Amino acid sequence: MQATSFRLDGKVALVTGAGRGIGKTLALGLAQAGADVILTARTQGEIETAAREIAELTGRKTLALTCDVSDPASITQTVEQAVADFGHIDILINNAGIGVLKPTLETTPEEWDQVMNINLRGVFLMSQAVARQMIDRKWGRIVNVASVGSALQIQGLASYSASKAGVVNVTTRFATELAPHGITVNAISPWFFKTDMNAAALESDFGHFAVARTPIGRTGNLEELVAPVLFFCSEGASYVNGQNLFVDGGAMSYGI
C-alpha cells in the first residue's frame, strides 16, 4: 500500500489570521504543498505583504482579503469574493485569535466578549459560511487552531482558555454534522510557539517555567505546526474526524 501524499495540488485553502505568526506559516505550508491560498486578517497591509511573499516563494496563486471574523457581513463578503476569484474553497483553517493576559477577577466584560467574538464566534461563523459551499462539492477539510489552554488552565488567560475549549467543542459538533457531506473537521492544540502575541510572556519567569515543564525542553518552532495541518487536510486523513491533536512537545503528558 502506497503512503498517501500530503500534496494539495488543485485545492484552494482559506486561512484566517494569516498576516503573521501561525496563520502565515500555515498559509505558506499549504502553498508549498500545492494549494492556492486566500489569506484573511483585519489588517490589509499585513496580509497583502504575506500573500505576495508566499506567491513569490511558491508560485501559487494567492489572494489577500480583509475580514473581521466576528462580523457575519464581513465573512459573507469574504467567502463570496474568494469563491468568485477561485471558484470554490476546499480547505478552511480557522486560526484568527487574540488573548487578554489578566487575572480572572480583573478581566472586563468587554475584554471577555472581544476574545469570545474572535476566537469562538469567528470559528463558528466562518465554518458555517465556508461549509455551505463545501457541501455542494461533497468534499472539504476544516482545521481549527485551538490551544493546550483548551484543556489546561494557563495563568492569566481565563477568557482565552474558555474560548479555546469552546473551539474544541464546536469542532466536534461540526465534525458530526458535516461528515455525511464528505467534510471532515479537526483541531490542533499548540503549546507555546513563539509569536508576536506571546513573545514577551515567553521571556518572563512564566515562560521559563513553561519550557521547564515541556519534556522536549523548548518552545515549538512555527514550522512544526505545518505537518499536522497538512495531514488533516490530506486524503490520508479521510477517516479522521472530530479530533483534537495536541502539538505540545509532550506538555500534556508531563507528570509530577
Report, as residue numbers or ranges, the catalytic residues. 160
Measured CA to CA, the distance from residue 202 to residue 197 in angstroms comes to 10
Cα distance between residue 123 and residue 75, in whole Å: 11
Question: Which residues neighbour 170 within 8 Å (Cβ) at sequence distance 6 or greater?
Answer: 120, 123, 124, 127, 144
Residue with cell string 502553498:
31
Q: Where are the alpha helices (DSSP H) in the chain?
A: 21-32, 44-58, 72-86, 109-116, 122-137, 158-178, 199-202, 205-212, 226-233
Taking the C-alpha atoms of residue 224 and residue 243, their distance in angstroms, rounded to an integer, is 18
